[in-house]
Amino acid sequence: MATHAADAHHDDHDHKPQGFWDRWVFTTNHKDIGTLYLVFAFIMFCIGGAMSGVIRAELAQPGLQFVQPYFFNQMTTVHALVMIFGGVMPAFVGLANWMVPLMIGAPDMALPRMNNWSFWIMPFAFTVLLLTLFLPGGAPAGGWTLYPPLSLQGGSSVAFAIFAIHMMGISSIMGAINIIATILNMRAPGMDLLRMPLFVWTWLITAFLLIAVMPVLAGAVTMLLTDKFFGTSFFNAAGGGDPVMFQHIFWFFGHPEVYIMILPAFGIVSEIIPTFSRKPLFGYQAMVYATASIAFLSFIVWAHHMFTVGMPLGGELFFMYATMMIAVPTGVKVFNWVSTMWKGSMTFETPMLWAIAFVILFTIGGFSGLMLAMVPADFQYHDTYFVVAHFHYVLVTGALFSIIAAVYFWWPKWTGKMYSEKWGKFHFWWSTFFVNVLFFPQHFLGLAGMPRRIPDYNVAFADWNLVSSIGAFGMLASPIIMFAVLWHSKKHGAPATTQVWEGAHGLEWTVPSPAPHHTFTEPPVIRASMLAHGDVTH
C-alpha cells in the first residue's frame, strides 16, 4: 500500500487494479465507486423513464388503449420509486464519491470498504423491487407513498417491496455516514469548514438529513409489514390505530427526502455558475446558512402533504406557515445565484446552460410549491396534476438537470476528454424544450380538475394530455442523446487540460485530467487561491 501511495505521488501512473472483479466488484476506490453509482443511476433513469413512457402513452388519449388500470398503477408507483431511490439519490451519491475527496483534498472516502458495500446493495435492492413486476399480482400499486390500507392490499409484492426499501435504506445510511465522516475528518489542513466548496457543504447537510430520516422510513414500512403479516394495528382504527398515522411518519421522512434530492443540486449549481461567470460565488456564508435553515425547516413542514386528511385547524395553520417560510432561505439562494452572474464575464458552455435552466425552472417549481402550501387553495390542488407538475419541475428540471449539469461539468476531469459542445448544447435545448412541453401543461390539467394517478379521463382533458405526452416522448430521447454525446467524447474527445474550464477554481481542478486513480495520498496544503469562492473569512 505504501508503495502505491508513493508512486502515485511521483508520477501519474495509475495502479488501477486490472481484472474486472478487482476493479469494479471488490473496489474500495472512491472514483470507481462513484462511477459505479453514476452508471447505475443512469440505467435506473432509463428504466424509470421507460415506465413513464408507458404512463404517458396510456394518457395520450382518453379511453384505455394499452394497459389495464392496475398495471398503470404499478407503473406509477415503480416509476417514482425507481426515479427517486434508484436515479436521483444514487446519482448524487456517485457525484459525492467522485468529487468530495477531490474537493477537500482527501485520499479517499473515510470508510472505503463500507463505501463499496453501500453501492453494491443498490443493484440488489432494485433487483428485489423490479422482480415484483413478474410476480403473480404484480408490483406494488398503491403509489410511492405506500398509504395503507391500500398498499397492504397488494399481493406477494408487499413483502418484497418493503424489504427492497429496507435495503435501499441501509445503503443510503451507510453512504451518508461515510460522506459525513469524510467531510468532517478527511479535510486537508487549511480546508476549514467555512472554506469548503458549497457542493461539499450541501452534501454534509444532506447526509445528516439522510441519517435522520431514512431510519424513520424503515420504521414506517416495518409497521406496514407487521400490520400485514403479524396482526398489529398501527394503521387500523378498529384496533386503536389510525391510517393517518402512517402518513405522518411517512412524510416525516418524505419531506426531508425531497430536500435530500435538491440540496446537492443547489451545491452543484453553486459550483457551476461562479465558474462560468468567472466571479466568486456571491454570499457564500449566506448560502451555507440558507442550506442549513432549509434542512432545519424540512423537519417541521411534513403535514403539508396531508392538508386534506382532516387535521385540526391549528395543525393546518402551523404547517402552512412553516412551509411558507422555506421560500425565504430558498429565495436567498436564487438571488445569490443571480448576483453571482451579475457583473460577471459569462460564457455559456453546456454545464452553464443546464445550471441556468435549473435556476429558472426550479424556481418555477418552487413557486407552485408555495401555492400548494396555501391550505385553502391546496384543498383544490391536492392530488391533481398541479401537484404532478410541481414536483416534476423541482425533480426533473431541478434535481435531474443539476445531475446532468454536473456530469458535463466534471466529465473532462473524470475521463480526460472534452465532449462536443455542439452536441452537448443540442442535448440541452432538446431536453429543455420537451421537458416544458411535457410538464407545463400539467399545471393546466390540474387546475381544470384532473386528479393524479388515473389511467383515463374525461375528454375535456384530452388536448393538454396529448401535448404532455408528445413532450414526454421527446424527453425520453434525452438519455439516449446524452449517452451518445458521452460515448463520442470517450472515443474521440479532445484531451482536457488540468483546469478544464477557464474560470474553474478549487482543488479538483489542480489534479490532472483524467484524475489519477489515487489522489491526495498525502494531504495538500490549501491556499486561498485554490478555493472556488476565494477567501470568505475576510
Partner 1 sequence: MAMAAGTLPDRWQLNMHPGVTETARNAYHIHMLMLWICVVIGIIVFGAMAYAMFKFRKSKGAVAAQFSHNTVAELIWTIIPIVILIVCAWPATKILVHTADTSNPELTIKVTGYQWKWRYEYVDYQGKATGINFMSKLDGDSDRTRQLKSGLDPHAVKVGEEQTYLLNVDKPLVLPTNAKVRFVITADDVIHAWWVPALGWKVDAIPGIINDAWTLIEQPGTYRGQCAELCGQDHGFMPIVVEAKPKAEFEQWLAGQQAANAAQNAPAAAQAPVAAPQG
Partner 2 sequence: MATAQGKNVYYVPHGSKWPAVGTIGLFTTMIGAANWLNEHSWGKPMFYVGVAVLLYMMWGWFGEVIRESIKGMYNHQVDTSFRMGMMWFIFSEIMFFAAFFGALFYARMLSVPWLGGEGDGALTNFYLWQDYAPAWPTNGPSAIGGAFETIPAWGIPLLNTLILLTSGVTITIAHHALRAGHRKQLLVFLGLTVVLGAIFLYYQAHEYIEAYQHMNLTLGSGVYGSTFFMLTGFHGLHVTLGTIMLAVIWFRCLAGHFDKDHHFGFEAVAWYWHFVDVVWLGLFMFVYVL
Active site residues: 79, 108, 144, 171-172, 255, 257, 259, 270, 304-305, 330, 333, 452
Among 125, 141, 372, 532, binds ligand HEA (CB under 6 A): 372
**Contact status: 281 vs partner 1 (CB under 8 A):** yes
Give the shortest CB-340-to-ligand HEA separation in angstroms. 15
Region from 262-270, 328-336, 497-505, 517-525 binding partner 2, contact rule CB under 8 A: 517-525
Within residues 250-279, the interface with partner 2 by CB under 8 A covers 252
CA dist., res. 122 & res. 94, Å (int)? 12
Region from 50-58, 172-180, 215-223, 342-350 binding ligand HEA, contact rule CB under 6 A: 50-58
Say how many residues touch ligand HEA, by CB under 6 A: 65
Region from 114-122, 126-134, 329-337, 474-482 binding partner 1, contact rule CB under 8 A: 329-337
CA dist., res. 117 & res. 111, Å (int)? 10
Within residues 247-286, the interface with ligand HEA by CB under 6 A covers 258, 261-262
Q: Enter the DSSP assignment of 528.
A: G
Return the amino acid letter for 145. T
Q: Among partner 1, Cu ion, ligand HEA, none, what does residue 369 contact (CB within 5–8 Å per kind)?
A: ligand HEA
Burial status of residue 43 (CB atoms within 10 A of its CB: 0-12, 13-18, 19 or more): middle
CA dist., res. 464 & res. 239, Å (int)? 45
59-80 burial, b if ≥16 CB within 10 A, otherwise e? bbeeeeeebeeebbbbbbbbbb
Q: Which of 390, 430, 427 is nearest to 408 (CA)?
A: 427
- The answer to whether residues 532 and 48 touch, using CB atoms and an 8 Å cutoff, is no
Packing angle, helices 350-373 and 327-341, rounded to 10? 150
Is residue 82 left, alpha or beta, with left meaning phi > 0 and alpha meaning psi from -120 to 50? alpha
Give the shortest CB-318-to-Cu ion separation in angstroms. 14
Q: CB-wise, 35 or 530, nearer to ligand HEA?
A: 35
**Contact status: 334 vs ligand HEA (CB under 6 A):** yes
Give the shortest CB-3-to-partner 2 separation in angstroms. 8
Chain-centroid distance of CA 171 in Å reads 15
Give the shortest CB-442-to-ligand HEA separation in angstroms. 7
CA dist., res. 527 & res. 507, Å (int)? 10
Q: Which of 184, 134, 140 is nearest to 159 (CA)?
A: 140
Residue 114-153 contact track with partner 2, rule CB under 8 A, x = bound: x-xx--xx--x--xx-------------------------
CA dist., res. 16 & res. 89, Å (int)? 27
Among 177, 216, 476, 528, binds ligand HEA (CB under 6 A): 476
Residue 286-325 contact track with ligand HEA, rule CB under 6 A, x = bound: ------------------xx-----------------x--
Cell numbers placing 388: 404532478
Q: Which of 162, 212, 204 is nearest to 186 (CA)?
A: 204
Region from 4-12, 89-97, 138-146, 397-405 binding partner 1, contact rule CB under 8 A: 138-146
Region from 47-55, 253-261, 314-322, 462-470 binding Cu ion, contact rule CB under 5 A: 253-261
Residue 66-105 contact track with ligand HEA, rule CB under 6 A, x = bound: ----------xx-xx--xx--xx--x--------------
**Contact status: 431 vs partner 1 (CB under 8 A):** no
Residues 6+ apart with CB under 8 A from 316: 303, 307, 375
Among 229, 289, 348, 429, binds partner 2 (CB under 8 A): 229
**Contact status: 370 vs ligand HEA (CB under 6 A):** yes
Give the shortest CB-502-to-partner 1 separation in angstroms. 9
Q: CB-wise, 144 or 461, nearer to ligand HEA?
A: 144
Among 50, 64, 194, 237, binds partner 2 (CB under 8 A): 237
CA dist., res. 393 & res. 385, Å (int)? 12
Among 78, 196, 213, 373, binds partner 2 (CB under 8 A): 213
Q: What is the sign, positive or negative, of the torsion defined by CA atoms of 326, 329, 335, 337?
A: negative
Q: How many Cβ atoms from other residues are within 10 Å of residue 453's Cβ?
A: 15
Helix (H) or strand (E) holding 491: helix 478-492
Packing angle, helices 350-373 and 421-448, rounded to 10? 10
Residue 66-95 contact track with partner 1, rule CB under 8 A, x = bound: -xxxx--x----------------------
Residue 118-147 contact track with ligand HEA, rule CB under 6 A, x = bound: -------------------------xxx--
Place of cell 375535456: 460
> What residues form DSSP beta bridges with 417?
495
CA dist., res. 333 & res. 205, Å (int)? 15
Q: CB-wise, 286 or 511, nearer to partner 1?
A: 286
Among 30, 56, 79, 255, binds Cu ion (CB under 5 A): 255
Q: Enter the DSSP assignment of 495.
A: B
**Contact status: 138 vs partner 1 (CB under 8 A):** no
SS3 258: helix
CA dist., res. 507 & res. 187, Å (int)? 11
Q: Which of 278, 189, 287, 285 is nearest to 537 (CA)?
A: 285
Q: Which of 70, 381, 448, 437 is nearest to 457 (CA)?
A: 448
**Contact status: 484 vs partner 1 (CB under 8 A):** no
Q: Among Cu ion, partner 2, partner 1, none, what does residue 185 contact (CB within 5–8 Å per kind)?
A: partner 2
Which residues of this chain interact with ligand HEA, rule CB under 6 A? 38, 41-42, 45-46, 49, 52, 55-56, 76-77, 79-80, 83-84, 87-88, 91, 143-145, 258, 261-262, 304-305, 323, 326-327, 330-331, 334, 363, 366-367, 369-370, 372-373, 378, 381-382, 387-388, 390-392, 394-396, 398-400, 403-404, 407, 438, 452-453, 472, 475-476, 478-479, 482
